[in-house]
Amino acid sequence: MTSRFFRTTLASASLLTVIMVGSAQAQSARDAVIANIEAAAKAGGVATVSHGAVTGDDAKFTVADQTFVIKDGKDETTITVATTTYTNAKPTPTGGYSADRVEFGEIGVEAKDGSASIDKLVVEGLVGPSADDIKAKKPNGKFDRLEIATLEAGTDDKTVTLDSMVVTAASYVDGIPHKTLIDIKGLVVPLDKDDKDVKDLIALGYEELNLDVSIGSNWMDKDGKLAVEPVAISGKDIGALRLSFNLGGVTPEFVAQLKAAEGDSNKQVELLQSLQVQDVSIRFDNASIVDRLLDKQAKDQGVKKADLVKQLSTMAPMLLAQLNNKDFEKKVADAIGAFLSAPKSLTVTAKPPAAIPVAQLVGTVLVAPQTLPNVLAVDVVANK
């Protein structure tokens, strides 16, 4: 299975928040919602739609056996949904629709390069765009929470599974959420022995990747601050990597200027240098991958693991000497030595006393790179 198809599957699931079709047998709000959804589906590129029975009333109704066919040249993607249940769905004055909750049950996706299934997709606080919004590419749709439960996608020889994915979005401004969180649990990707890109992982004894991923951000536009916390990836029997940072200068004016500079890389670089770095933190917690790497390297060299660790710890100060910053060199070398001896965790933080413009950091790298760790107040610690 290709990564392209997996992305297509998730995109198809998300597309269901827009292309929801029903029957014309209902009355009042239900009737209007179904009509608006059908118009939005066609505006979104759905070639054909069909459905079975519609049951319930305006407060809560269910559409059975939906089928959507999306064409892309000669290729077709068919999405089937056993049941779709709308709670408190209403038409909006602009020709869209809203619903407190929409639950899709037993979703199937069939495409040229694979197939997929989703047990359940739930969207809460949904506001769907109108057909005119979609045609004009206006970001007028939104949701508060989206949850996928049990996804399976693949081809004849490879299957990727996902236990759950939850996306929350809040603080919308002009149709764009300023606070988001994506939380993925149990993403299992089998490793192909014939794939050269993963041969090193296979050599370490891994047959699959079992991952959890979390990505959160909060853009405080009035203050011009962007907080990204966390960007976290953890793998079973591998380890966990966590990144967080805070930037200043991310104002609505900056975002508008950056968007206007699309295609002009020089202007974009100029704009990015106006941002300020407030703090950065990177942490790695080892689960076993470092031990496997050391064991393999020691075996390949025909030495004991303890001797290899001693050798690497001795080499670290020599390799770091080119930094020309004795205090920082010692700090890093000590952390590396402690981590290799007992590989638990390694943390790198940058917490300058005041926010530093990116332009100043670039200048420091060009003029006096050895002072950069001091300017950013970088600290490196192991096993804490």
pLDDT confidence band for 27 (50 / 70 / 90): very low
Mean pLDDT calculated for residue range 45-51: 86
The whole-number pLDDT of residue 15 equals: 57
Residue 139 has pLDDT above 80, yes or no: no
The whole-number pLDDT of residue 155 equals: 85
Q: Give the tokens for residue 362.
A: 């670039």
Question: For the whole model, what pTM was predicted?
Answer: 0.87
Distance, CA of 109 to CA of 8 (rounded, Å): 10
The whole-number pLDDT of residue 204 equals: 96
Mean pLDDT calculated for residue range 82-107: 95
- Strands annotated E in 113-158: 114-128, 145-154
Residue 41 one-letter amino acid: A
Mean pLDDT calculated for residue range 343-349: 98
Q: Give every CB contact of residue 243 below 8 A, 6+ residues apart in sequence.
A: 228, 230, 231, 232, 280, 281, 282
Instruction: Specify the higher pLDDT residue, 164 or 133.
Output: 164
Instruction: Specify whether the CB–CB gap between 218 and 178 falls below 8 A.
Output: yes
Alpha helix stretches (DSSP H) within the chain: 3-15, 28-43, 131-136, 199-203, 252-260, 265-272, 289-301, 305-320, 326-341, 358-367, 372-376
DSSP state of 95: S
Question: 């704009």: which residue's tokens?
Answer: 271
The per-residue pLDDT for range 220-262, each reduced to its tens digit, is 999 999 999 889 999 999 999 999 999 999 999 999 999 999 9
Q: How open is the CA angle 334-338-342, to the nearest 5 degrees?
A: 170
Q: Give the tokens for residue 65.
A: 């056996």
What does the buried/exposed string (b/e) look like for 37-74 if buried means 16 or more CB atoms within 10 Å of the residue's CB? bbbbbbbbebeebebeebeeebebbebbebebebeeee
The per-residue pLDDT for range 166-181, each reduced to its tens digit, is 999 999 988 889 999 9
